[in-house]
Amino acid sequence: MAGYIQKRGNGTYRLIITFGKDDTGNLIRYSKTVHVQTKKEADKLMALFFAEIESAKKQPVPVNEPDKLTFEQFAKQFIEYCNGRLTPKTRYRYEEFLTSRINPAIGHIPLSDLTPVHLRDLYCKLQKEPIKTKGKEGFISNQTILHHHRLIHTILQTAFMWDLIISNPAAKVKPPKVAKPDIPVYTADDVALMLAAVEKEILIKKVILWLAITTGARLGEIMGLKWSDFSIEKSTVFIQRTAQYLPGQGTFTKEPKTKSGKRLLALPESVMSILEQWRCHCIEKDVYGEFLFLHPDGRMMYSLQMTGWFPKFIRRHGLRPMPFHGLRHTHITLAIAAGFPLKNISTRAGHSNIGITCDTYAVPVTSVDREIADSFEKFLGGT
């Protein structure tokens, strides 16, 4: 183990201890903020912190001594307890949160000693933590901090239900407020420009963009499509799985979270024509298989390859900036603007109820707002 001390402000120091690396190769860090006046006092507390971490690491998970059970030790029990109910991606994300940020801050603290102040300090620290993802700048979003809070709350609520603690300290802490994201959508003219631009790209990009804008399907759902999901006679596609990727596990598929996630969608004839071009291309290049999108060696392609390409494509052709998921928002918003029944649109999107469609995805369309105003002009007789 190695450690160092950071001076944070007047009378505040942060003690940091590094202890090996996690499964992803990142350094495991434990940190603690102390309020002392001098560096010498901080050095003394650092020695105690070292002893505290060493003790927690050497102790086996207590069974009959719940007062000595640390948050990190119980979190491991919790993950194993929930393992059969967690998807591989959810488990990976939980373990990533715990290993990279939560355990370094509060993992060494016994469950019975954990207080709302510990969690408040953790959330304040996370708000100042820079994003480590390559190509991104800024700090961890409040949405990500909320995800951390929900995991901590669930773990501690389980400890409370098992009578390991007398109350859940996470229930007494409010995470940072999360503003509703303002995801841009394209107008019909923007979509026309985008589809014209993708004609200059390789065929696979054209296929994926046309499927995205005409179905409103999520990227993972598109990447998980099989040729057998399509009906040439009826011009339909059956969405019934999503493709996901995890380091060390590769690409795999899973069923949708809800029953409504499985849905049969009608496709325009133009899309069926593009799919036939893609089928012929795959046969010619000897990459025709069970799934629509395969590497030359037969492995499934995964979504990250598309999310990395799309922003570059947008900039290269001078299109309005928008994340790939914005194509789903665009499909739903334009369908609402066209006056189609909300129930049909909601079903097409795979939503469990109409409220999700209206509140989460639909945004006001300026042209429609003008039509509403003009209709009142006619109704009122121009007065």
Q: Which range is least confidently modeled, 60-69, 193-202, 204-213, 293-302?
A: 60-69
Last residue of a domain, one of 143, 172, 201: 172
Give yes or no for residue 240 having a pLDDT over 90: yes
Give domain status of residue 237, yes or no.
yes
* Nearest to 262, CA basis, from 188, 348, 204, 158: 348
Residue 121 shares a structural domain with residue 66: yes
pLDDT score, position 107? 93
What CATH number does the domain containing 275 carry?
1.10.443.10
Residue 207 shares a structural domain with residue 324: yes
pLDDT score, position 377? 65
* Nearest to 152, CA basis, from 190, 104, 97, 202: 97
Instruction: Kindly report the average pLDDT of the chain as a whole number.
Output: 85
Last residue of a domain, one of 111, 139, 172: 172
Rounded distance between C-alpha atoms, residue 366 and residue 184, angstroms = 13
Residue 326 shares a structural domain with residue 235: yes
Residue 220 shares a structural domain with residue 357: yes
Burial of 74 (0-12, 13-18, 19+ CB in 10 A): buried
Residue 206 shares a structural domain with residue 316: yes
Rounded distance between C-alpha atoms, residue 269 and residue 266, angstroms = 9
Give domain status of residue 376, yes or no.
no
Give domain status of residue 70, yes or no.
yes
Residue 372 identity: I
Give yes or no for residue 370 having a pLDDT over 70: no
Contact 157, 151 (CB under 8 A): no
Q: How many domains does the chain fold into?
A: 3
**Which residues constitute the domain of residue 134?**
59-172
Give yes or no for residue 213 having a pLDDT over 90: yes
Give yes or no for residue 113 having a pLDDT over 70: yes
Q: Which residues of 317-333 are buried (b: 16+ CB within 10 A; e: fewer)?
A: eeeeebbbebbbbbbbb
Give domain status of residue 378, yes or no.
no
pLDDT score, position 367? 60
Residue 53 shares a structural domain with residue 65: no
* Nearest to 272, CA basis, from 242, 299, 236: 236
Average pLDDT over residues 172-191: 87
Give domain status of residue 383, yes or no.
no
pLDDT band of 61, cuts 50, 70, 90: very low
Give yes or no for residue 342 having a pLDDT over 80: yes
Residue 47 shares a structural domain with residue 146: no
pLDDT band of 74, cuts 50, 70, 90: very high
pLDDT score, position 360? 67
pLDDT score, position 17? 81
Q: Which range is least confidently modeled, 139-153, 163-177, 187-201, 361-375?
A: 361-375
What CATH number does the domain containing 87 carry?
1.10.150.130
How many C-beta neighbours within 10 Å does residue 145 have? 22
Give domain status of residue 13, yes or no.
yes
Give domain status of residue 156, yes or no.
yes
Residue 293 shares a structural domain with residue 278: yes
Residues 6 or more apart whose Cβ sits within 8 Å of residue 119: 106, 149, 152, 169, 170, 173
pLDDT score, position 225? 96
Give yes or no for residue 40 having a pLDDT over 90: no
- Tell me how far CA of residue 251 lies from CA of 220, 247, 290, in angstroms: 10, 9, 14
Last residue of a domain, one of 125, 145, 172: 172
Residue 168 shares a structural domain with residue 215: no
Residue 213 shares a structural domain with residue 343: yes
Q: Which range is least confidently modeled, 26-40, 49-63, 97-111, 334-348?
A: 49-63
Give yes or no for residue 60 having a pLDDT over 50: no
Rounded distance between C-alpha atoms, residue 377 and residue 380, angstroms = 5
Give domain status of residue 182, yes or no.
no
Residue 120 shares a structural domain with residue 83: yes
pLDDT score, position 336? 85
Contact 126, 147 (CB under 8 A): no
Average pLDDT over residues 86-106: 91
Residue 208 shares a structural domain with residue 102: no
- pTM (two decimals): 0.71
Q: Which range is least confidently modeled, 19-33, 178-192, 267-281, 303-317?
A: 19-33
Angle at 163 between CA 166 and CA 83, to 5 degrees: 120
Residue 265 identity: L
| Better-predicted residue by pLDDT, 353 or 233 | 233
Question: Which of 48-52, 345-349, 372-376 has the largest mean confidence?
Answer: 345-349
